[in-house]
Amino acid sequence: MACLSPPDPQRAWALVRAQHGVIALFQLLTLGYTRRAVKHRIAIGRLHPVFRGVYAVGRPEVSRKGRWMAAVLACRLEVVLSRESAAALWGICSERGAVIHVAGPRARDHRQPGIVAHRSRTLWDQDLTRRKSIPVTTPARTLIDLGTCLPPYELEAAVNEADKLDLVHPVALRAAVHERRGQRGVLALREILDRGDFLLTDSELERRFLPIARRAGLGPPHTQQRVNGFRVDFYWPDLGLVVETDGLRYHRTPSEQTKDRVRDQAHIAAGLTPLRFTHWQVRYEPGHVERTLRAAARRDWGT
């Protein structure tokens, strides 16, 4: 005779709550349900198929987290959420479309409509974690995987967002990239980090920046002078213009970022115009730097 109720309903409901309203057939069988009992509950509307072998309990609607969990359960927990889906769960970028991406090291075919399963032999234990009870790649591994599918500007936005949310320490991200050199996605991510970490020596910075300032129509600045209690990189008293150049962009701590804001606020309160450029911009984007300087000078001259 089919068992019409689980032998341990508390365990069953605890599992459903922990899994965002979904449960898998293999879990129901482990809890004592028979296949006939599962079919009966589907027929009377207590279980609603989400993916093959995974059901929403009570009502057919599930949250986005419920669908992510269901996709992992549909693969019998042999995979974790990955790529854009993992990034959306971490909050570092949005999913594109309704397809859910998962990844795992095994060769078993997990193809189902609405799920893209990526086979990855380089998915290590240290790449795996849980967020909101959902198995998922770590933020560092998620960013590496995004390097295989996002254009550079979107990948950089994801790196910035992960940094802002303190999801991955810059040292750990650098270490992960170094450890996995040659792996797909690493090169694109390393280019983003190299651009953010790029640092010129003081002499080379001046050698490259000063001609840009001259082309923008600015005269010689004061360098390394104290203004409003802070040492600044470049200062034009007649224009009321202060320029700071930032290096190690992705290694800046929240405390350092706060100090920068305080500096800029002090200059603005004193009636000055503060500008910031990265060392990378000075070296590789001089046209942008020149245009910005020219616009700032034109505004300060009132022309």
- Average the pLDDT over 113-142 and give the result: 93
- For residues 89 and 71, give the distance between their C-alpha atoms in angstroms, rounded to a whole number: 13
pLDDT digits (tens, 9 = 90+) for 166-213: 898 777 888 889 888 888 899 999 888 877 666 667 778 888 899 999
My answer on whether 206 and 240 are in the same domain is yes
My answer on whether 280 and 188 are in the same domain is no
**Cα separation values, 205 from 144, 199, 212, 244, 263, Å:** 31, 9, 11, 11, 21
> Residue 1 — very low, low, confident or very high, per pLDDT cuts 50/70/90?
very low
CB contact set of 62 (below 8 Å; sequence gap of 6+): 20, 21, 22, 50, 56, 70
Pairing mode of beta strands 80-81, 100-104: antiparallel
My answer on whether 265 and 172 are in the same domain is no
- Taken as a whole, the chain contains a residue count of 303
Structural domain contains residue 72: no
My answer on whether 83 and 192 are in the same domain is yes
92: number of Cβ within 10 Å:
24
Pairing mode of beta strands 241-246, 115-119: unpaired
Q: Which of 161, 72, 66, 157 is nearest to 116 (CA)?
A: 72
171: number of Cβ within 10 Å:
9
My answer on whether 167 and 237 are in the same domain is no
- For residues 101 and 7, give the distance between their C-alpha atoms in angstroms, rounded to a whole number: 34
Residue where a domain terminates, one of 179, 196, 213: 196
Domain count for the chain, please give it.
3
In terms of Cβ atoms closer than 10 Å to its own Cβ (0-12, 13-18, 19+), residue 227 is: middle
Domain that holds residue 23: 9-62
| 249-288 exposure pattern, b = at least 16 Cβ within 10 A, e = fewer | bbbbeeeeeeebeebbebbeeeebbbbebbbbbbbebbee
Output the pLDDT for position 109. 64
Tokens for 201? 């020596």
My answer on whether 110 and 168 are in the same domain is yes
My answer on whether 87 and 175 are in the same domain is yes
Q: Which of 195, 196, 132, 143 is nearest to 167 (CA)?
A: 143
Structural domain contains residue 3: no
Backbone φ and ψ for 2, nearest 5 degrees, come out as -70, 145
Query: Residue 142 pLDDT > 90, yes or no?
Result: yes
Output the pLDDT for position 157. 84
Q: Which of 13, 72, 74 is nearest to 46 (CA)?
A: 13
* Percentage above 70 pLDDT, the chain: 90
> Residue 252 — very low, low, confident or very high, per pLDDT cuts 50/70/90?
low
Q: Which of 87, 88, 115, 121 is nearest to 102 (CA)?
A: 115
My answer on whether 100 and 120 are in the same domain is yes
Higher pLDDT, 54 or 121: 54
Output the pLDDT for position 144. 95
Q: Is this structure's pTM higher than 0.85?
A: no
163: number of Cβ within 10 Å:
21
Residue where a domain terminates, one of 178, 196, 214: 196
- For residues 245 and 223, give the distance between their C-alpha atoms in angstroms, rounded to a whole number: 12
My answer on whether 206 and 190 are in the same domain is no
Give the CATH number for residue 265: 3.40.960.10
